[in-house]
Structure formats: C-alpha cells, structure tokens
Chain A
C-alpha cells in the first residue's frame, strides 16, 4: 500500500531525510517513531504530496507521489500536526467544503458518517474558532476520514490532548484500522505499542529500525540480537541454543551448505555469547559466526520520551 524507497530530502543544505525506506501493507497501522526534528513530518509531507523528495521514491496505493500526485491525493486522508482549520467556518460548512473538494458522494451522508465517527455531531453548527483543542482535533480527524480513504496519514494525532482525549483518539484510530492503512507519527513510545502493529524508528533523518511491534518491545525490554552460524543439524542446534541461559528466542534464518544461521534474542550480556560458544563447541559442531547485531536502541530512546504518566494501556 505504501512503499518508501531511499527517500532523501534536503532543505537547501540541511538534511531532513536520508535514505529512508519502509513499507506498509493494507491493514497495517504503522507508527513513525522518533524525537522531535527526526524527520517524521517531512516523510509524511512527502507521502501526502505536499512537496516532492530530493531523491528516492514514494508510492501510495501504487501511485508515485511525484508522477501521479493527484491520484495519490484522492486516496489519502491527512491530518497535519498543527491541525490547520478554517476557524471562521462552522464544522458542517467546513466538512461540506472538504467533501466537495474531495468529490465525496453521497455528500451529506458521508459528512454525517464522518461527524459520527469522530463524535462531533453535536457541535456540527459551532464555529470552529470557538471549539476547544480536543474538538478541533476531532474535526481534523473527521476531514481526514471523510470519503473513507484507503490510506490515513496522521501527524502526531494525540499531541496536546488531555489524557482522556488521548485514550479516545487512540481507540478511534485502532477502530479505523481493519481494511485501511494508517501511518501515524509520534514521539511517545507506549503509543506505538498500543495502537500500531509495525513501527519505523527515525532519528535525525535516518531509519534506525524497522520492525513489528512485538519484536521491538522485546528489543526495548533490554534484549540484544546475536547472529549465529553453526555447522550442524538445524533442528538440534536450535534446540540446544534455546537452552542456553539468557537466550530469549531463536529464529532460524537459513541453512546453506550444511551451515545453519539463526538470529537470537538474548539478554544483554556478553556472558551469553560465551555460553553460546561453549555450548556449540561442546556439542561438537563447528562455530562459524557469533556476532552481536548492535542497533543501540538505548541511545535512541534516551532521547525519546519513553514514559507517560497516568495514561493506562488502551
């Protein structure tokens, strides 16, 4: 549904994105996670065809954001970070404008549906300028989902809301998933695990990690990744490795020429690697490779806001 390949964006001499690649399939809720200034908004603006990349490609629903910009825009709903709305219009009048521009049919019913989904039907005739931030956010969400787009792109959809509103918004986003593909950006770690199934970590314009949420949680909870290659029978080797103290998970990668490769999730400790080596050699197998795959997520998360006080899991 969404394919980003080697995306690079420079604002003059300043690098905003460098060689960013990731994908999202239909039904994914993908989180762009990173500290402020990491490049999340830039990536989203390229995906929404606000501006083109300096190099690299981005495709939404099969259409290139530069070559077929209009086709992309017909299939997306976008909520920018600062939720820019026309404050002189009533909610209904504004959504009517958006519906006309997006050529949504049937217009009145679609507007009613969007207002209902975003829970703003009771403020339909209120002037947007008079609404609180929480309600404006919902109006922003309503205009994004108007027309039932295949892809939703939400830039920091919960920032600035109070804890109750944050929970509601996250629930709404989860409910909107299903057949739709959603990309949302955030700098709040727990939000990703609550709402998303995939995550892309961006820091200072480059991708630090791409993963599913479970794997990421495992790595975050203090596990390390170790690549192991052993000359020996795959099943037995895997079983033996699983029993080494400190090993959390063993994932076979491939077997080639009698050499079995695995990816292990382990507790962070160099002892584990020693134990692994000892276990392999003791069993009489040839140890070809034992290598920690260090993506130091800890460093990144020192910069990220990791804890949220007072917001229970959705």
Chain B
C-alpha cells in the first residue's frame, strides 16, 4: 500500500469507528429528531402564512440558527469523551497521527450531518410539486448548508478538544458559533472600516449568498478556510496535550 493509501486507510478506520459509535447510541438520533422536528415546524408555519417564494429562502436563516445550536451538541463528545474515559491514551499511541484522528472524526460527523439533512429534501419535493421553482436555488441552498454545517462541525470539534467535560465543550461550541454568527449583525453598528472586516469574518454573511441561489466562489473559499483552520487548530491542541500531559 502506498503511503497515501495508508494515510487514508487510517483516517477511514477512525471514521468507521466514530460512525459505529454514532449508530449504536440514541444520541445522534435524538439530536436529529429535535432538529428535524423544529425545522419542519418552522417550514409548516412559513407555508401556512403564505409562502413568499417557492424555495427554501425564508426557511434557511432559521435552519442555520438551529444548526448552530444543534451541531455543537452533536460534536461535544468527539474528543472530550476520549479524554474523559482515557481512551485518548491508546488513540495517541496507535500508529495514527493526530491529524488523521481529527480528519476521521470530522468526516464521520459530516456523514451523520448529511444523513440528518436528507429528510429535509421532503420540503424540496413539496415546493417543487406545489410551486414552480427552479433547481438552482435548491442546489445552492444545500451546498451552503453542507459548507455551513462543515464549518460548525469543525468549530464544534475544536471546542471538544479543549476540555474533558462534554457539557462545557457543547456550551463553548455554541458560544463560539453565536459570536461568529452575531458578528454579521454587529457590523451594522460599527464604523464602516471595522464593519467591513467584521462582516468578512461573519459566518451568516457568507451563508446569505447560498440562500438566494448565488454560489459565490468567495463564499465557498471562506467556508473551506474556516473548516481547514478549525481542524488545523484542533490538531495542534491535540498535539499540545502531549507536551502538557
């Protein structure tokens, strides 16, 4: 096997194990159920109040906010639990790098998240059948959701790496995401130069394009950078735990 093959195999092994853990515990199902329930409720409310446009645009800000609350709950155990139970000691003495561990766990959670989104395709079906909408906005909406979710997951993992306490990890994760989300609103209050900079960092600003059917490369790059950055920092935190042990 080539070195790359070995590396990917290691990531796959970690991802597999994480998917197994998600599958055998009720946790992920409960989180998904709560998300889908509330999301569905909002969708229903928007529909019954007369849908302004036959796409997901009115729903998405709420969906994004729900994800902001729900994803950190999903990710809080990823690294905190390993440290709390001591399994991290074996994980870090296996022939697998810290980066591979982080990537494997990230990918597994991304898969779980994607599966969680699948039932929402039902809304798309409804809108398509009862309205005359194009495919474009739907595609950009789900691309945006995937990227946004990826960023949330990466940041949630980061906060899980900081502590042994899952609850703390979850709360800190929500806190960080709220802060980054709210930066968008804050840019209205600050002066223009600072507002520009802050708006650039804002997760919500970069998500807006996708909700309107616009796939701006700038936004895609932004989310990919957030994901890469958060995963990188998480790997560094894991490494630093060795030196501080």
Contacting residues, chain A, for B245 (C-beta < 8 A): 11, 45, 50-51
Is there an interface contact between B243 and A85, defined as CB atoms closer than 8 Å?
no
Is there an interface contact between B21 and A51, defined as CB atoms closer than 8 Å?
no
Shortest C-beta distance, B192 to chain A (Å), equals 47
A86: interface (CB < 8 Å): yes
Is there an interface contact between B86 and A73, defined as CB atoms closer than 8 Å?
no
Q: Which residue of the partner chain, among A74, A85, A87, A88, contacts B95 with CB atoms under 8 Å?
A: A74
Is there an interface contact between B97 and A70, defined as CB atoms closer than 8 Å?
yes
Kindly state the separation between the CA atoms of A45 and B86 in the bound complex, as whole angstroms. 13
B90: interface (CB < 8 Å): yes
A80: interface (CB < 8 Å): yes
**Contact flags B40-58 to A (C-beta < 8 A → 1, else 0):** 0000000000000000000
Shortest C-beta distance, A183 to chain B (Å), equals 14
Is there an interface contact between A50 and B93, defined as CB atoms closer than 8 Å?
yes
Shortest C-beta distance, B8 to chain A (Å), equals 11
Contacting residues, chain B, for A100 (C-beta < 8 A): 9, 12-13, 16
From 137 to 160 in chain A, residues with beta carbon under 8 angstroms from any chain B beta carbon are 143
Shortest C-beta distance, A171 to chain B (Å), equals 24
Contacting residues, chain A, for B96 (C-beta < 8 A): 101
Kindly state the separation between the CA atoms of A48 and B95 in the bound complex, as whole angstroms. 10
Is there an interface contact between B87 and A50, defined as CB atoms closer than 8 Å?
no
Is there an interface contact between A89 and B86, defined as CB atoms closer than 8 Å?
no
B127: interface (CB < 8 Å): no
From 44 to 94 in chain B, residues with beta carbon under 8 angstroms from any chain A beta carbon are 85-90, 92-94
Contacting residues, chain A, for B97 (C-beta < 8 A): 70
Across chains A and B, the number of contacting residue pairs, with CB separation under 8 Å, is: 71
Is there an interface contact between B24 and A50, defined as CB atoms closer than 8 Å?
no
Interface centre among B89, B96, B243 (most CB of A within 10 A): B89
Is there an interface contact between A82 and B86, defined as CB atoms closer than 8 Å?
yes
B17: interface (CB < 8 Å): yes
Interface size class of chain B, counting residues whose CB lies under 8 Å from the partner chain = 20 to 34
> Total interface residues on A, using CB and 8 Å?
28
Contacting residues, chain A, for B24 (C-beta < 8 A): 88-89
From 85 to 144 in chain B, residues with beta carbon under 8 angstroms from any chain A beta carbon are 85-90, 92-97
Is there an interface contact between A73 and B21, defined as CB atoms closer than 8 Å?
no
Contacting residues, chain A, for B10 (C-beta < 8 A): 101, 103
Kindly state the separation between the CA atoms of A86 and B21 in the bound complex, as whole angstroms. 9
Is there an interface contact between B21 and A89, defined as CB atoms closer than 8 Å?
yes
Given A48-B93, A73-B95, A97-B16; A84-B242 close (CB under 8 Å):
no
Kindly state the separation between the CA atoms of A32 and B1 in the bound complex, as whole angstroms. 37
Interface centre among A11, A76, A103 (most CB of B within 10 A): A103
Shortest C-beta distance, B147 to chain A (Å), equals 29
A209: interface (CB < 8 Å): no
Is there an interface contact between A73 and B13, defined as CB atoms closer than 8 Å?
no
Shortest C-beta distance, A50 to chain B (Å), equals 5
Shortest C-beta distance, B225 to chain A (Å), equals 28
Which A residues fall within an 8 A CB radius of B?
Answer: 11, 45, 48-52, 70, 73-74, 76, 78, 80, 82, 84-89, 93, 97-98, 100-103, 143
14 contacts between A and B (CB under 8 A): A11-B245, A45-B89, A49-B92, A78-B90, A85-B87, A86-B87, A89-B20, A89-B21, A97-B20, A98-B94, A101-B10, A101-B95, A102-B95, A103-B1
